[in-house]
Chain A
Amino acid sequence: MIEKTVKIINKAGLHTRPAATLVKLASKYECEFYIFKDGLNINGKSIIGVMTLAAEMGSELTLSFDGSDEEAAADEIVSYFNRGFDEL
């Protein structure tokens, strides 16, 4: 299992479009993907779950990946966060 902490750095935060992209990225992998924030534990492959997250600029989230392809998944998804959802 891999755990990573990421920060939201784009201005609009985790709004609907990046939420959808995030779920699409996660769905390509077999490993489980969870997002922890404010005591909530959200399955990152569930769009409706991810949409309940209010993550504005500056907020921190913990991501966990667990499964055979966890490393590749973590790489791609963390990089998406670090690129500010390509909205910088």
Chain B
Amino acid sequence: MKNFKQIYRASDNKVSGIAAAPGIVIGKAYLFTKEKLEINHSGITDVNDAKKNFKEALIKSKKELNKIFALAKEKMEDTRSAIFEAQLMILDDPVLIKNIEKRIEEEKKQPESIVDDEISKYIGLMKNSHEAYMNERAHDIEDIKNRIIRNLQKKRWQSRIVNDVIIISVSLTPADMILFSRCDVKGFVTDHGGLTSHAAIISRSLNIPAVVGAHDATQKIHDEDLIIVDGFHGYVIINPSQEQLEFFKQKQIKLIELQKSLDEFKDKKAITTDGREVTLRANVDVTGEIDIVKTSGAHGIGLYRSEQVLDELGEFPEEDEQARIYTNLASRIYPETITIRVFDIGGDKFKIGDYVEPNPFLGLRGIRLLLENPAILKTQFRAILRASTNKNIQMMLPMVTTIAEVRDAKKILAESKRELKNQNIPFDQDIPVGIMVEVPAAAVIAEIFAKEVDFLSIGTNDLIQYLMAVDRGNDLVSNLYQEFNPTVVRTLKHIVAEAQKANKPVSICGEMAADTLAIPLLVGLGLEELSMSPATIPYAKRIIRYFAYEDAKILAGKCSTCTTQEEVIKTIEKFFKDHSITRTRQII
């Protein structure tokens, strides 16, 4: 039988990208476009249903705007908040709503088509005016129109069965991914993005094969094409030949066999041949994932990205709602522990307010943004504390740069504790607080930080991005995002040593731990706890059980004297070979 290389070499019906989430799927392509709102102008049969969807989209839009408005109020000038108020009033505009409903009844077309047409009439009038501010106003109206249409489309997406399709898109946001995960999507292919893009991280979390950074996938693949996604090698085959189809069907069978054999590892320890135990914990991005965590054999949750709540709800939930979510998670994972990272928003994720940052990744994000909006942080602290009665929750601060930030956050935490105490609400008095080490400033003086907190957790995605000064989402420079650069190796080594000086635990929770190639290096560097996508845990466990800690230490020493990323990778590959460890892609 031919091997992968031969199959790929022989075919010109393929696009190549980055293998983002392992697995092989065969299915129909569905092109998802969202950069430009695509309006569906088709007819409908059920007028009442369409009107109901329209009403619900208005309610949803109102909810979203209200939350954003309430949070942004302090930060905006009056003129801007008037715009929000007017936008909210438009959602209640009796004339507009009556006209749209009437037209849905008479024209029997998709509500989004009528909404688009009706509101565009007003926009046209505004654009015809020669007053400059009217043009701006037209933009604001356009905004609210798009919001309603987006909410109508979400409705349509959810109600529509898209089982068994593979989504092809230019890029995907976490919110998109969550939406699709509810529709049983089989695979993802995107033009943009790298290993650490949201699309990649979440597809790994959901165990859905994905190829990202495939450049012109949306050009070459058409709706309804039969495609094969190879999430191991990063290839997508378009309208495969009979031979290709047979080949991949065989691989799928082998993969199922492999997964069965990996199940055996579930209850076994991740222990090296010379007896060093490594704790493998799970990163959780979406609530549905908690079931995968349990079957993966993970020791609890090492990173719960709490901002997923915002992606799922599209708004900041009240304290009660948050407390309910965290309590549910903590009790489902009990007696293991869960580390909740407070909202890591800003940058490219969920902005509060109406400001533009020229450099969002160097701007108001993570703990910086939370300390600017202490009410949000306090609400979250209180909610987490209320969920901590079983003493199995830790909390973690993202994007910490200075000691002052840690102290300020701890002050707010202390206030939250005092308030709860006065209200006679129980909580874990000694809840551990840690920080993410993901800014070089924190990495360099990690010992000083370690003395202030209970634990450190290295977030490799951002740490590498800031170390290498590279935007991981920018295709033009993404080759500089080098997980195995000697700079990264030495920085990790330094952080581990600093934490040891302060006698505090240090773990790693970035995507680097999901790369099986990195496992012996990370273990050799002295990390005792790795947190990764639950789907990758059995693979990591299998590898750890193949080598000795003493050998891994030597490997880590060698890697930190290498001069280039290529050398580091070669050194690790040799280690795999010498210890006869085969990577998954070579087994199937």
Contacts and interface: CB of A to CB of B under 8 A. Distances in A.
Contacts of B125: 40, 52
A19 B129 CA distance: 17
B86 A47 contact: yes
A23 interface: yes
B86 A20 contact: yes
Given A48-B119, A51-B122, A52-B125, A17 B78 contact: yes
Tell me the interface secondary structure of chain B in the complex.
Answer: helix
A64 to B, nearest CB: 15
A48 B94 contact: no
Q: Give the size category of A's interface with B.
A: 10 to 19
B79 A51 contact: no
A20 B89 contact: yes
Nearest to B131: A54
Interface in B63-90: 78-79, 82-83, 85-86, 89-90
A7 interface: no
Contacts of B82: 15-17, 20
A23 B94 CA distance: 11
B118 to A, nearest CB: 9
Contacts of A51: 86, 122, 126, 137, 141
A20 B85 CA distance: 8
A16 B137 contact: yes
A56 interface: yes
Nearest to A52: B125
A23 B86 CA distance: 10
B134 interface: yes
Contacts of A52: 122, 125-126
B122 A43 contact: no
Contacts of B93: 46-49
A41 to B, nearest CB: 12
A58 to B, nearest CB: 13
Interface in A31-77: 40, 43, 45-49, 51-52, 54, 56
Contacts of A48: 90, 93, 95-96, 119, 122, 141
A87 B122 CA distance: 27
Interface-central residue, B93, B126, B130, by most chain A CB under 10 Å: B93
A52 B129 CA distance: 9
B133 interface: yes
A51 B139 CA distance: 12
B86 A19 contact: yes
Contacts of B134: 54
A16 B86 contact: yes
Contact of B95 (A15, A16, A17, A45): A45
B83 A16 contact: yes
B135 to A, nearest CB: 10
Nearest to B94: A45
A46 B86 contact: no
B95 A46 contact: yes
A66 B141 CA distance: 29
A47 B122 contact: no
Given A47-B86, A47-B90, A48-B96, A17 B79 contact: yes
A26 to B, nearest CB: 11
A18 B390 CA distance: 54
A24 B89 CA distance: 9
Nearest to A47: B89
Interface-central residue, A15, A17, A45, A47, by most chain B CB under 10 Å: A47
Interface of B: 78-79, 82-83, 85-86, 89-90, 93-96, 119, 122, 125-126, 129-131, 133-134, 137, 141
Given A16-B85, A49-B122, 13 more contacts: A15-B133, A17-B85, A20-B85, A46-B93, A47-B90, A48-B93, A48-B95, A48-B141, A49-B95, A49-B96, A51-B137, A52-B126, A54-B131
In order of increasing CB-CB distance, the 9 nearest A-B pairs are A46-B95, A17-B82, A52-B125, A54-B129, A47-B89, A54-B131, A16-B82, A43-B95, A16-B86
